[in-house]
Amino acid sequence: MFTPKYPPPDTAPAPTLSPVPTTAEVPAAQAPAPVVSAPVSQRPAVQLTPGSALALAAGGGAVVLVVGAVLVSMLLAVAITAVSVAVTAVVLRFLITDLRKGR
């Protein structure tokens, strides 16, 4: 159950290497290969109009406001929980001291 399961070995044939020509075998009249630059992308560039830039800024502002509201509400929930636990601890402390005094 806990022994590893290994996949079967690869059955592909080993690649054959072609001999690399030495400098003596290369003809002297052969010119070096031309340097090819990177291919140019065919996609159009993104252009923002003033309206779309304004919509993008408004959307970003809305996201910031929503995330801020969520974080503030979580912080408020933690603060309310901490205060309620503290009040409960104080009440229990008074009850335990009253029980020890015998009231």
CA 83 to chain centroid, in Å, comes to 35
pLDDT at 88: 98
Cβ atoms of 75 and 67 within 8 Å: the answer is: no
pLDDT at 57: 93
pLDDT at 90: 97
pTM above 0.85, yes or no: no
pLDDT at 85: 98
10-residue stretch averages of pLDDT, the chain, 103 residues long: 80 72 60 70 80 93 97 98 98 94 77
pLDDT at 16: 78
CA torsion angle for 58, 62, 64, 67 (degrees, to 10)? -170
pLDDT at 43: 76
pLDDT at 47: 82
